[in-house]
Structure 1
Amino acid sequence: MSDVRPIAIFTIGTLGDVLPCVALGQGLQRAGYPVRIVTSANFEALVREAGLDHYPLTADFQAMLAADRAIADRGLNLYAMARTFRERYAHWARHWTAEGLAASEGAGLLIGVSNAIQLAKAMSEARGLPFAIARLQPLTPSRILPPMVMAGGRERLPGWLSLSLYRLIHLLVWYVMKPAINDIVRPQLGLPRFSWHGPHLGRNAQREKTLNGYSPSLLPRPADWPDSSQVTGYWFAQDTRWQPDPALQAFLEAGDKPIYVGFGSMVNADAAAFTRTVLDAVERSGLRAVLATGWGGLDGADGVRDGRCYFLRQAPHDALFPHMCAAVHHGGAGTTAAAVRAGIPSVVVPFYGDQPFWARCLHARGVAPPAVQRKGLDAARLAAAIAATQAPAMRQAAARLGDTVRAEDGIGNAVAQLRAWGLVEAIADPVPRPRRHLRSVA
């Protein structure tokens, strides 16, 4: 392994954005490729505990959300969120050139994820290194699959309209990233600025090799995607060593499987009031619950409350969810993946971004009721949605989908695809993983 040049994965965002990248990094390292995760300092311990190298990148979403909990109140307003993040990225980007150069020194491949894509791309151009994109949500234009935002609840649109909306989304993404990339990073690297429409449109757009890290069983690959964009399956970390502490274990053993309620990295301006509504809904449902307060979506001291609910700060979803009978969550890509893998139904209360999209995907597969709106959350509606998850048909559909997803090898497929594209050299894999057929939808 010492003769193989490292792969640097650039990623910024919440825990749900970073965890799949860490899992992919673990898989690449098991296959013989040293891996660096380039992300904010609040995830350094997570990265190092996974056995990967951490390189710092100024972009602390946790601190940003803690400082401005009102972000949640404008979360589904696409343009308000774009303005917020445009300003924040430009502020953080003052440090990105030096940090990116340090992280890419001696690397053999750079992978950009989500909002770190254009930073990694700029570094690859400056250093003359291979580059790939990794996504947790579909953004490759398609006539068949409408874009995850701007399409409302419709599963199909006229082809021309779908492509037009993708162009609009990519223009909005560039609006957000332009001050950071075009005005700071690229000039500092001596690279030419992109034109007004950015790198996502025009003759050479959408040609980068792209790994889409979600399950084709939940969202099949559109048949009109180019070969350069492939769906691999989810990227899950190796089995965690986490076990419930004695108090939680006692709670789990004291009755039927509870529901999980947690909103991960999301925050609420009035978490206490939101929590009271959730507790009312849990009581109406007649079920027990484990509530994870996370970064501030819920509020409550750790431990048992009223015998029915157990509060905790957080726990690895992959380890906790098999103990649950359903999950109430925000619909983030990572939490959605964990619920699907565990074979349990979901209730999605979206906050922003791709979350309404994943809610629609889960509902379309029969493993979740329609999304419950967070604004003006009503305990009766939430209780009804929780009750729907206990219907035999939904539980059976979730169990079948879980069986399918657990049989997939998303990380093995990703490694094989990078090799097939010639982006990494073919070296002996200590644990051979056959590449599985990835389904497409017409």
Structure 2
Amino acid sequence: MGSPGSPPPGPASGVGDGLGAPREDSAEDLYENAPCGYLSTAMDGTIVKINATLLGWLARDRDEVVGRRRFTDLLTVGGKLYHETHFAPLLQMQGEVGGVALELKTARGDRLPVLVTSKVKTGPDGEPLLIRTVVFDAHDRRSYETELLRARQEAEDAREAAEKATALVETERVRLQQLSTTLQTTLLPPDLPPVPGVEVAADYHVASVDEVGGDFYDLFRLSGDAWGFFLGDVCGKGVIAAATTSLIRYTLRATAPHVGSLPAILENLNNVLNQRYGSDLRYCTIVFGVLVPDTSGPGYSVTLASGGHPPALLLGADGKARYLPTPGGQFIGVLAQVDIATTTIRMGPGDTLLLYTDGLTEAHTIRPDRYGEEALLDFAAALAPTSAPVLVEAVSSLLDGFGDGVTDDAAILALSIPADGPKPPSS
């Protein structure tokens, strides 16, 4: 990760995955008014620099903070204890710590839940000079987790009541189904945002209405003309899987625009899951992509990073279909360090990209065999060339045709470039 005042390369730079800042932003403005908090401290914790965003969250003036307070002075009592016993020792040993949940206290006495990432800057001789810290507002995530826990308690209470009152079992079962459906719906984006020059479609096929699944997907703007999208699958089912899904979506949305590379995005997610769940081992498979307009001609550059997820499928304008393998990618949340595989392609007019979870390829057909990736490749080749809406509708119909053979939820997300081509990005 670069220094807090350094903007990432622009989307049209052709460097990395195209995570860029709007051209009109200055480095100072990006630092001071970033959507996250930045601060730098001396090695003893004394604050030497802090941006306007974080000062606003704390309701404090720069003069009363810089040179007068330490980072721990901004934390609650519990936050100070955790910082001294866990955060600071890890930072000293590793040189950086990412995605740690803490609470700040504002000048008004309010508590502000945040995600904190810190890194030690060293000099040419290797001696530590200062600590740079990024702070993300986690208020919405904390509220959502509280709501999920409340919903979990309601579901458990409802199940106990149903067991005691057999006459109301069917009524309670329907209510629980509605609750599960509501929870599942809240885990997915209600509507995918429009991307200029790109057709986007998605669907979620529920295998059982009695349990919340752990499949997820999302699409959102990163910066400038760059768009991020991801699709994945959390291990297990139920409310805990739903809470994990919520944590993953929030973490990716909050940190992706500020992380310098696709592997770093998934490495940060891996750290968050390990720190949150530890030996409880809540993990996921995921594929994360970045879509950037290609200034060399009509089309888009797409970079994909995979953490143990089935390969994406490209349906070409030439009528052929092929997988985009990212070999070696590891599950996210299992190991302390992960190897993230990436691949980059160019999508031109008439090309369509399909992402899916293994609920599709592991569905059982009339025979006791899995549907499998080979059958999906043949199915896609018969459709190519096509568009995202047509492809998603066809795959949804395929899943419906499997009936009870679908034993796991299946999420699908497709992006396509219209055959007549996207409009070139404005200069």
TM bucket (normalised to shorter chain) is under 0.3
The higher relative CO (CA closer than 8 Å, separation ≥ 6) is in 1
Of structures 1 and 2, the larger Rg is shown by 2
TM-score by length of 1: 0.25
Higher strand share: 2
